[in-house]
Structure 1
Amino acid sequence: MGVRNIGVMLIQVVSELNAHPIEGAVIQIFNKREPATVIESLITDISGRTPEVELSAPPVEYSLEPAQLQPYTEYIIVVTAEGYQTVVINSAHVLPLIKSIQPVKMPPLVSGGNNMIVITIDPNYLAGTYTPKVYEDEVKEYAEGDNAKPVVIPEFITVHNAIPGNITARNYKVEYVSYIKSVVSSVIYATWPEEAILAYILVAISFSLNRIYTNWYPNRGYNFDITSTVAFDQKWFYGRNIFNNISLAVDNIFLNYLSRPGIIQPILTQTCRGELATCPNMMSLWQSKSLGASGFSAIEILRYFYGDTIYINTSNIIEGVDMLWPGTDLTLGSTGVEVQHVQNQLIIISDVYKAMTIPEVDGTYGQATAAAVSDFQEIFNLPVSGTVDFATWYKISRVYRRLTRTSGNEENI
């Protein structure tokens, strides 16, 4: 029997006001080619999640080689809930063999308005027609002497949703980790070899951190950190669906970036599509996929394009984090301030996500804490183990921060 051309999607719905889950939201899914026919109707549970649904997709081969045929199927998603504006996603991209999560943030109803928000998602970078990136120096003019600042992993990044000079375009304040997931999901295909995906994640992270570290746009009079345009920066779409394997990979390496010896600032690692020709000093995305399929590791792929001096660096200075991951997993029998720190955060989260077990708050990792962690992992699309590993530690921290501040127009996953 051949491989089924099926992708999996679930939708997670929260209030834009406070990031609380919305139970009972009604979701209708339409194939964009047949927009008059509802193919799935779903209702969110107490955690704001729908059941996973299988959706048809093209053959996986379409996303593994440059082709004229679109490698994903587009679906229109319409979300309604009492007291909230209708949200329309036009459209979610479904790849075969891959699970994706569609986050939806619902604004409250407003009097006198049309009370409908339409979020338009354009083609993936490799499938669309975009102005190519013009090469820039990978290291920017910046004083890196004794007083050079350290590299900080930001809590947020402000994205200008157009070219820099378009003053009418909107700025979005986005959780940094969510931004990276959106960029990677928008630029490459989640069906690619794991090492090729990891290589591009590191490229996207390093590029983003260079823009922030050097204050590239603020120093030029702009009120944002980066744009959503490929010609200047990296492709990004507000409100798009995120592929779960990409999400998990970013959760595990978001503290990493690319460096060269003697240079503090993250390297401005640039890319091109590379279907027909290579691009000097940039990573050819299609060639990186081929190298990954040939058995190259992520660092080998990166050194193939950027040279042997490139290496993976790490920052442990993280905005919005009260306590760093202790370096070892927390599991049954663990004790100490790190356990109590997680328990304190889980108590707050479980007060909002009622399906979660309420943990102990005594500094000892008991059965209730393990159950609460398992529940959290299931709700937030992590491997369910009941153990607090690196990815779980920082996702608990991000969700806790999300629920204890005003949400605004941020995008989170």
Structure 2
Amino acid sequence: MRNKSLRIAQDTATDKGTLKVIVTAQTGLRPIKDAVIKISYTGNPTGTIEQLNTNDSGQSDTVSLDAPPIDYSLEPSAMQPYSEYTLQVEAKGFESIVVSGTQILADTNAIQEIRLRPLEPKNMEDNIVIPAHTLYGEYPPKIAEAEIKPVNESGEIVLSKVVIPEYVIVHDGVPTDPTAANYYVKYKDYIKNVASSEIYATWPTSTIEANVLAIMSFTLNRVYTEWYRNKGFDFTITSSTAFDHKWMRGRNIFNEISMAVDSLFSNYLSRPNVKQPILTQYCDGNRVICPNWLSQWGSKDLGSQGYMPIDILRYYYGDNMYINSAEEISGVPSSWPGYNLQVGSSGDSVRQMQEFLNTIAGIYPSLPTIPVDGIFGPKTDDAVKAFQGVFGLPPNGIVDYPTWYKISEIYVGVSRIAELV
């Protein structure tokens, strides 16, 4: 049935979406130059329609690809709203990989990250198959739980404050499946993956942000309450829609969703006098109806009507739902200073940012090195713009909240590469 739907989606492709491929080494963020990427329609992997190569930053050019009409993703439909492509990636000194099912939506920017393993005799070619999107495929509905977990049971709460973790451990199956693999996934990457699997990037920005906030709050409830560890499991969360959200190993994300997560990632949803993030459950609102939970399709309609993210959330969860911020973000050298850094700024925060950019430039040769003088001048402005261009941020030269944490994230990654060398 899926192959038939795939042919229909390809045959009716009248719109375009774009795709950028980012290839790095699996052991860190080291970019892989001159990787060869062959793109074909899923179902016809030998019929290459595009061939790309990666640059010094491990990134391909952005390519335009056929996609079904955008209307298919703007209301529930039996028609598959995205095209699927197969990517074959090869690079000297690394194992090749095949990714089947990269999803392209009309008028959106897809990002496919590829992590290659070093070439070793014991390794075999990796194959990733991305399953159907949750709004199109058939998945079990969420089993209802209390949105606030009891705190009076011994051992129930392990953390004393809400912390954004650097990583979550995802169990790729139902909790009781001992054969399912566990994956260490960066928190932001996990949220971007889930959101790209659960909603469509063609939806209004306010809808995307409301759904991202719900996904993050749910996830942080699992982190804060040590939900699965207190049940004797060795993971943070599962990929089962019956218990948690749908996470898909190796799937592509969308830039529209990525930008929302980068801006909101330290936030969660809370109620008065409740310290833990709320377990904000949701359903599609079409095949499954869930009173008092967020409806994904319903939230799309509210966003189209001009509702703001908090208004969408309160429409479903009640007027006493609030957006809160975590007290601590793990895995970063220091927090955002609380104000934008730009031309004319000076001080220790500028100096630290300059040091981070120079360290990153040691791994990404397309980025310039700059004087570390604590003064945000033209050279620092150029370096920030170059960094933003490479890592998918608006290249405005302003170190705002998303840019500061993206610089910190990449700095930590390349610093760990240096430790391994």
Q: Shorter-chain TM-score: what band?
A: over 0.9
CA apart distance, 1:309: 0.7
Alignment counterpart, residue 359 of structure 1, candidates 370, 379, 391: 370
In 1, distance between residues paired with 2:73 and 2:284?
13
Tell me what 1:151 maps to: 162
1:198 aligns with 2:209: yes
Q: What does residue range 8-407 of structure 1 map to in structure 2 within 5 Å? A: 8-113=18-123, 115-143=124-152, 149-276=160-287, 278-405=289-416
Q: Deviations over 1:131-171 (max 9, x none)?
A: 110110000112499x9711111111111111111112111
Normalising by structure 1, we get a TM-score of 0.95
Displacement, 1:33?
A: 3.8
TM-score (norm 2): 0.93
User: Match of 2:3?
Assistant: none
1:323-342 Cα offsets, whole Å, 9 max, x none, are: 11111111112110100111
Distance 1:276 1:22, change over 3 A: closer
* RMSD between superposed Cα atoms in Å: 1.8
SS at match of 2:87: strand
Question: What letter corresponds to residue 122 of structure 1 in structure 2?
Answer: P
Give the total of aligned pairs: 404
Q: What residue identity is the alignment partner of 2:390?
A: I
> Any unmatched runs of 5+ in structure 2?
1-12
Paired AA for residue 115 in structure 2: K
2 CA distance for matches of 1:151 and 1:316?
A: 6
1:144/1:264 contact within 8 Å kept: no
The residue number in structure 2 matching 1:411 is none
- Stretches (4+) displaced over 6 A: none
Q: Which runs of 5+ in 1 are unaligned?
A: 408-413
% same residue: 46
- Partners of 2:358 and 2:368 within 8 A in 1: no
Q: Residues 227 and 236 of structure 2 are in contact (CA less than 8 Å); yes or no, is this contact kept in structure 1?
A: yes
Identify which of structures 1 and 2 has the higher relative contact order when contacts are C-alpha pairs closer than 8 Å and 6+ apart: 1
AA partner of residue 329 (structure 2): I
SS in 2 for 1:343: helix
Q: Is the 8 A contact 1:360 1:366 kept in 2?
A: no
